[in-house]
Amino acid sequence: MSLSSSASISSASSICNGSYSTKLYGTRVSVDFSFPNSKQLRTVICSADANRGATVIEQGVSYSASVPSRIASLGQVTGVLGCQWGDEGKGKLVDILAKHFDVVARCQGGANAGHTIYNAEGKKFALHLVPSGILNEETVCVIGNGVVVHLPSFFEEIDGLQSKGVSCEGRILVSDRAHLLFDIHQVVDGLREAELAKSFIGTTGRGIGPAYSSKVLRNGIRVGDLRHMDKLREKLEVLISDAAARFELYKHQPDVPRQVFEDYRQYAKRLEPFITDTVRYINDAISQKKRILVEGGQATMLDIDFGTYPFVTSSSPSAGGICTGLGIAPRVVGDLIGVVKAYTTRVGSGPFPTEILGEGGELLRTAGQEFGTTTGRPRRCGWLDIVALRYCCMINGFSSLNLTKLDVLSELPEIQLGVSYKQNDGTRIQSFPADLSVLEQIQVEYETMPGWQCDISSIREYSDLPKAARNYVERIEELVGVPIHYIGVGPGRDALIYK
């Protein structure tokens, strides 16, 4: 990375032609700069060492940037996306990274995305719509145009945050292009699942699919429509009549549209300070060299196009969803970090090749506290699926991975990796198949590795991990071809190893 022409540096360290070397680490330097904020200064200076920060003099004031260069050298627009079927721990990484970014943005999904994070005091927060950067006071949180927003849930979440001392005023922006999710969508979600009987998808019941369906059918209602109350009642009547025509079990009284209209008249007044042209806001922030962190909901294996269709979500939680869900150009997207659990979990129905049934799956579920943040449902558990992970890395082009919950495997005497698939006739499958009938019959070939059977939750340096744990991490890197730069060894903010 080269220094901006607006900054001049003089020091005894090895610097030439406007660039710096790793010898900057440990050297006190004088910096005369014109960067508009300190986060950009950290981006320039702290990339001096692979795993440590640097101390600089900021206009004569001592300024310590104790941030690993892994973070400081991330691209101006960086995304954090799930590599499995969700619940990988994306919220924790976003929370940790957020203090080094100016904006944290959600680009898709809705209140079906449950992110559990902990503040510095260890207090637990369960977020659904609000981006996980909200605990960092200087960070602006954006709910982009690709998100579907259930306003009662949104306000309930904000009220809960503020009751715990988290300031939300002026820090959350909601796109005027985002679609509204109404209670009627949640009713339709349940009716649709009941209609499918044994072939149900296993949705969260939050109305996400029906809301996206309304969007695609072009009878959806957007956040910006709340500014035109004279037309809102008519749009609500169309939405409700469509549901009544589709489902015989859906019953509503003639005054339902009026009741909903009155509720949303009040919601509109409260929401007005949040409503923003976020497409312009994000692009202006990029032009101003601010740093943008994008938080994905769900994960690639639930992508509407690339996941295990039809057992998927209704949006694009893979890399392409960043551009369409925020209105930014592909060329500005820099680093993408894939978050992958050290084993695999799935909520709801659908194929799960490496699932462990019976006592083994229950052991992982209990050790990892695998219950949905949004629904509380027990998650299905299994071994890490390398074939699916490679597939996700291919689709997204991850620059690095965050391996989470490595500590959960500590009690196991041995660990298995699902390294390849083959059909009943012995034919190997080169990639993750789209055909569910193939997925239902494949045989997973496993590689067995020894466990380490000791507590690693207090370890903070990679070299201090047991050799068996390091072998496991490095074998995943070897099989997938993407480096693991972050390793989670517990739920707390500090329980992270930088590799």
Those residues with Cβ within 8 angstroms of residue 463's Cβ, 6 or more apart along the chain or in another chain: none
376 annotated ligand binder = yes
372 is in an annotated binding site: no
Distance of alpha carbon 146 from alpha carbon 366, whole angstroms? 35
User: Is residue 112 annotated as involved in ligand binding?
Assistant: yes
- Pure H helices in 51-182: 69-72, 90-98, 151-163
262 is annotated as contributing to ligand binding:
no
Active-site residue among 100, 115, 150, 341? 115
**Residue 278 counted as an annotated binding residue:** no
* Selected catalytic residue, list 39, 128, 179, 215: 215
Is 115 an annotated catalytic residue? yes
Residue 224 annotated as lining a ligand binding site: no
Judge whether 405 is annotated as a binding position: yes
Tell me whether residue 87 is one of the annotated catalytic residues. Answer: yes
Residue-by-residue DSSP string for 163-227: HTT---TTTEEEETTSEE--HHHHHHHHHHHHHHGGG-----SSSHHHHHHHHHHT---BGGGGG
**Other C-beta atoms lying within 10 Å of the C-beta of residue 391:** 18
Is 87 annotated to bind a ligand? Reply is yes
Q: Is position 402 annotated in a ligand binding site?
A: no
Is 113 known to sit in a ligand binding site? yes
Task: Find out whether 475 is annotated in a ligand binding site.
Answer: no
- Residues 497 and 462: their CA atoms lie apart, in Å, by 6
Residue 123 marked as a ligand binder: no
Compute the distance between CA of residue 313 and CA of residue 303 in angstroms, rounded to an integer: 6
Quick check: helix, strand or coil at residue 405?
Answer: coil
Residue 373 annotated as part of some ligand binding site = yes
Residue 91 in marked binding region: yes
Q: Per the annotation, does 92 bind a ligand?
A: yes
Instruction: Name the residue among 361, 358, 332 with its Cα closest to residue 345.
Output: 361
The tokens describing 395, both together, are: 């689709």
116 is in an annotated binding site: yes
| 408 DSSP assignment | G
The one-letter amino acid code at 322 reads I
Tokens matching residue 421: 């698939």
Count of other CB atoms within 10 angstroms of residue 170: 9
Residue 250 CA, chain-centre distance (Å), reads 34
Q: Is 210 annotated as a binding residue?
A: no
Q: CA-CA distances (angstroms) from residue 291 to 34, 145, 235?
A: 17, 19, 38
Residue 59, annotated ligand binder? no
Closest CA to 295 of 158, 129, 157, 181: 129
Active site residues: 87, 115, 215
Known binding positions for substrate: 373-379
Known binding positions: 86-92, 112-116, 204, 218, 298, 313, 373-379, 405-407, 488-490
Known binding positions for Mg(2+): 87, 114
Known binding positions for IMP: 87-90, 112-115, 204, 218, 298, 313, 377
